[in-house]
Amino acid sequence: MSEDFVKTEFFHDESDDKYIIKREQDIEPILNANKIAQNDGSNGYSKSRDLRRVASIPLVVIEQWMKEDGVNILALTGDEKQKYFRRKLNDPDNKFLRTDAGGLVL
């Protein structure tokens, strides 16, 4: 399964007439690329230093955050979205998602 591909399966639980949606993504290639980027000395900057990548987040992780936090990131304004992702990416538990070696400015 490609790291960009999210597999979706639907199940029907007949005992209580509920539908279950299972989402699955192979995140290992993304996490491995993040680890390489953290150690490549670029600190997330492109060769031209015009752009800086601070993270690569698998889609299933974003979906999990939305569910856990009760937040629809698609409905957030630009500033709200930036604040939300900064908080999540500054959390030491989410270091594996970072592509730069430093912390984000709050």
In a domain, 59, yes or no: yes
Residues listed for the chain: 106
18 in any annotated domain = no
Decide if 106 is inside a domain.
no
Tell me, yes or no, whether 12 lies in a domain. no
Question: Is 103 a member of any domain?
Answer: no
- Measured CA to CA, the distance from residue 85 to residue 45 in angstroms comes to 18
Query: Model pTM?
Result: 0.79
Distance CA 50, CA 45 (A): 7
pLDDT in tens, 73-94: 999 999 999 999 999 999 999 9
- Domain membership of residue 9 (yes or no) is no
Domain that includes residue 73, residue range: 27-97
* pLDDT at 106 > cutoff 60: no
Count of the separate structural domains present in the chain: 1
Does the residue 41 lie in any domain? Answer: yes
* Residue 3 scores a pLDDT above 60: no
